[in-house]
Amino acid sequence: MPGCSCSNNSSFDGTSTAFKRAMWLVIAINGVMFLVEMIGGHLAESQALKADALDFLGDTVTYSITLMVIGMPLAWRARAALLKGISLAGMGLWVFGSTVYHTFYLGSPQAEAMGLIGMLALAANLTSVLLLLKYRDGDANIRSVWLCSRNDAIGNLAVILAASGVWASKTAYPDILVAGVMSALFLWSSYQIIRQALEELSDQPPPECDQK
């Protein structure tokens, strides 16, 4: 439009059938693994497993939001990413508080159950990462999905390491330490998502321009 200074955002916005199909698969994987890890974390008395289960739940919800806003103007996609970043920060703070509380918990989690469920979750998340790999450089809404999936895979590796530490030390401290590290990872990813979303919101074209 003459007199309108509009800039095109070349970042992938998710409007492809292949991406949406991949997202539905990833949502299903995360929903199932939330139930598996939360039940397993309760039975094994593992804070790391519970923290990872909460991450699966958060991903299930936020990935659904991602699908809902695909095709909307960039401003709405950025707002959705901002909401996801804030919710991720909330999860990180919850895990941190829970970890501090359980530092005084004397019992040790069941290392064998932690390791087994951790490996199952790792396989699930590696599948998700591979499904989303080529979409990792999209806009804030799409990039948040990649960061969450990457975090999940890292978290699963950490849970497996924690299980080894619990087994070797016969204490809960490796489990607590890993839960704390996962909390820091949530907060760092939250910062990255929120920063990109705010940049996209601050770089909006005039109302008469096409914002898609």
E strand spans, the chain: none
Count, in order, helices (H) and strands (E) of the chain.
6, 0
How many Cα atoms within 13 Å fall on the side-chain side of residue 162?
36
Domain ranges of the chain: 17-202
What's 17-202's CATH class? Answer: mainly alpha
Q: Rounded to two decimals, what is the model's pTM?
A: 0.64
Question: Could you tell me which of 120, 118, 144 has the C-alpha nearest to residue 52?
Answer: 118
Work out the end-to-end distance of the chain between its first and last CA atoms, rounded to an integer number of angstroms: 15
| Tokens 């039940």 -> residue | 39
pLDDT tens figures, 59-84? 888 788 878 877 778 788 788 878 87
Closest to 48 (Cα-Cα) out of 88, 95, 101: 95
Per-residue pLDDT for 28 more than 90? Answer: yes
pLDDT digit string (tens) for 94-146? 777 766 666 555 455 667 777 788 788 888 888 988 888 777 776 766 777 77
Alpha-carbon distance of 169 to 126, in angstroms, equals 29
Give the per-residue pLDDT at 27. Answer: 92
